[in-house]
């Protein structure tokens, strides 16, 4: 007897591999893959961990390492992504394994208010820059500013996620803020001034027990979304609505003027990059929580 389409669909959904994902909100790939059914086509039933996602956008004031929203999700079998430095540090500290098969490329900038006396990177000497400690907004600051001033004159202040950092800048709580997508485009629409801009790599990290088939299916879904974004970016720019934190939703954002944010690259990172990251983290004095520093031991296979 032939199976009805509804029963077939129900069974298909039941047998899909279930995974939970906490996007960074720096790119559109997760949301494109969900909307276009790319995860489903890979046999995946992907659930967005909105609590962790919104938590990473909010304030981290007073939170130590292992207390941040992304740290608390480690024991809940959630796939996450962070900057190159942060993911390697997290894995070394025992919070999962690095997925070495791919990486992201994301914009980064430091912004100030339009009336600020800061006009060039050198003006940030001894000026505390709002960051989320031990995340991409943090590691980028010494990495990019050291060419303009000695390390001891590069200052940061822990504000937390991008919603909190952008709000702190607008409220005058800080003089400068380290921003990522889409808050870079938000800052531009708000009339804030960019002081320095560059790009950096991101890496995915997963629990040690993450099923291989689920991780591979998830990455293939992201890769399919990348091809879709390359083919028709304007179609997907409205999906940035998912990444705007609650405190900024009442503004009239023109998503058609937003850029695409993080790009997904299905190519492996190198051992040389891994070693360089550890050297930088140690030199910046951010290696207090690093334990296992073996490339082989920290890679998800």
* Average pLDDT of adjacent 10-residue blocks, the chain of 301 residues: 47 65 94 97 93 88 87 83 96 95 98 98 98 95 97 96 94 97 97 98 94 94 98 98 92 96 97 96 95 96 84
The 10s digit of each residue's pLDDT in 153-207 is: 999 999 999 899 999 999 999 999 999 999 999 999 999 999 999 999 999 999 9
Residue 58, φ and ψ in degrees, nearest 5: -90, -175
Best CA proximity match to 121, nearest among 140, 138, 146:
146
Long-range CB contacts for residues 221-224, cutoff 8 Å, separation at least 24: 221/33, 221/38, 221/39, 221/41, 221/42, 221/44, 221/46, 222/29, 222/30, 222/33, 222/102, 222/264, 223/102, 223/264, 223/266, 224/33, 224/36, 224/38, 224/41, 224/42
The reported pTM is: 0.91
Q: Write down the pLDDT at residue 56.
A: 86
The pLDDT score that the predictor gives to residue 63 is 85
Phi, psi values for residue 213, rounded to 5°: -60, -35
For domain 107-200, give the CATH superfamily. Periplasmic binding protein-like II (3.40.190.10)
Ordered by start, the domain boundaries in the chain are 7-105+202-298, 107-200
- Does domain 7-105+202-298 fall under CATH 2.70.70.10? My reply is no
Between CA 55 and CA 23 the distance in angstroms is 11
Whether 107-200 and 7-105+202-298 are alike in CATH topology: the answer is yes
């Amino acid at each position: 007897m032939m199976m009805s389409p509804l029963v077939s669909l129900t069974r298909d959904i039941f047998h899909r591999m279930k995974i939970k994902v906490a996007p960074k909100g720096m790119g559109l790939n997760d949301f494109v893959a969900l909307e276009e059914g790319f995860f489903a086509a890979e046999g995946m039933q992907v659930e967005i961990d909105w609590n962790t996602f919104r938590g990473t956008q909010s304030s981290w004031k007073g939170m130590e390492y292992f207390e941040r929203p992304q740290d608390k999700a480690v024991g809940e079998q959630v796939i996450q992504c962070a900057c190159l430095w942060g993911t390697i540090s997290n894995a070394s500290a025992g919070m999962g394994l690095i997925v070495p098969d791919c990486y992201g490329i994301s914009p980064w900038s430091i912004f100030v208010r339009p009336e600020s006396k800061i006009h060039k990177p050198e003006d940030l000497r001894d000026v505390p820059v709002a960051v989320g400690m031990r995340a991409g907004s943090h590691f980028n600051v010494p990495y990019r500013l050291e060419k303009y001033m000695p390390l001891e004159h590069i200052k940061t202040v822990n504000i937390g996620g991008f919603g909190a950092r952008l709000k702190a800048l607008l409220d005058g709580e800080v003089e400068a803020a380290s921003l990522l997508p889409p808050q870079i485009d938000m800052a531009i629409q708000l009339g804030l001034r960019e002081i320095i801009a560059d790009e950096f790599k991101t890496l995915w990290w997963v629990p040690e027990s993450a099923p291989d088939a689920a991780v591979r299916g998830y990455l293939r879904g992201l890769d399919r979304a990348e091809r879709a974004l390359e083919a028709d970016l304007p179609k997907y720019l409205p999906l940035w609505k998912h990444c705007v934190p609650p405190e900024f939703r009442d503004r009239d954002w023109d998503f058609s003027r937003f850029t695409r944010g993080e790009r997904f690259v299905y190519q492996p990172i190198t051992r040389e990059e891994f070693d360089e990251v550890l050297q930088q983290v140690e030199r910046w004095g951010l290696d207090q929580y690093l334990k296992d520093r073996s490339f082989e031991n920290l890679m998800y296979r």
